[in-house]
Amino acid sequence: MHRGGLNSAAMHFTQQCIHQPVATRNTMSTLPNCPKCNSAYTYEAGTLLTCPECAHEWSRSEASGQEDARVWKDANGNILQDGDTVTVIKDLKVRGSSSVVKGGTKVKNIRLVDGDHDIDCKIDGIGAMQLKSEFVRKA
Ligand SMILES: [Zn+2]
């Protein structure tokens, strides 16, 4: 409600200055972007979230349900789980070193994480590193 009038001001503020006060940033990030137009200026209207830019309304539980539904799949589309053993399907360069993880390397006890590289693991002879699930196959 009171945030409705602040939208245009906030937009100008973002363009001119990247050092937003922490409090402002936190308020913005607690609400998900609009699933329709990806606007960051969503606001709560009762139990619903509303987008001021395309007028889309959706429920918060729906939005958080989507996050919980994330699944990790290997190169063959099999679902991966924490603690799985996987095999690397191609040679992968290790960022920041000259080491290469050879295709066919077995990786035990993976941990699934959010992010671009979505598997945390430890590889014998190399140490802790992160892999992309698209480059492994469930062993
Ligand atoms: Zn929208």
Domains of the chain: 4-68 (2.20.25.10), 72-138 (2.30.30.40)
What pLDDT is attached to residue 22? 46
| Ranges assigned E (strand) in 1-139 | 43-45, 48-50, 57-59, 72-73, 79-80, 86-88, 92-93, 100-101, 106-107, 111-112, 119-123, 127-131, 136-138
User: How buried is residue 121: exposed, middle or buried, by Cβ count under 10 Å (0-12/13-18/19+)?
Assistant: buried
pTM value? 0.51
Q: What is the pLDDT of residues 86-111, one digit of tens each?
A: 999 999 988 788 889 999 999 999 99
- Average the pLDDT over each of 5-19, 66-80, 110-124 and give the range with the smallest value: 5-19
Q: Measured in angstroms, how far is the CA atom of residue 118 from the centroid of ligand 1?
A: 28
What pLDDT is attached to residue 67? 52
Give the pLDDT band (50/70/90) at residue 2: low
Q: Measured in angstroms, how far is the CA atom of residue 41 from the centroid of ligand 1?
A: 8
Q: Measured in angstroms, how far is the CA atom of residue 59 from the centroid of ligand 1?
A: 13
Q: Measured in angstroms, how far is the CA atom of residue 72 from the centroid of ligand 1?
A: 28
Q: Measured in angstroms, how far is the CA atom of residue 53 from the centroid of ligand 1?
A: 5
Q: Measured in angstroms, how far is the CA atom of residue 7 from the centroid of ligand 1?
A: 13
Q: Measured in angstroms, how far is the CA atom of residue 16 from the centroid of ligand 1?
A: 23
Contact between 81 and 112 (Cβ < 8 Å): yes
The average pLDDT across 111-131 equals 92
Contact between 139 and 121 (Cβ < 8 Å): no
Q: Measured in angstroms, how far is the CA atom of residue 2 from the centroid of ligand 1?
A: 18
What pLDDT is attached to residue 26? 42
Give the pLDDT band (50/70/90) at residue 9: very low
The average pLDDT across 70-91 equals 95
- Average the pLDDT over each of 6-10, 27-31, 74-78 and give the range with the smallest value: 6-10
Q: Where are the alpha helices (DSSP H) in 41-120?
A: 60-68
Q: Measured in angstroms, how far is the CA atom of residue 36 from the centroid of ligand 1?
A: 5
- For 103, the 3-state DSSP assignment is coil
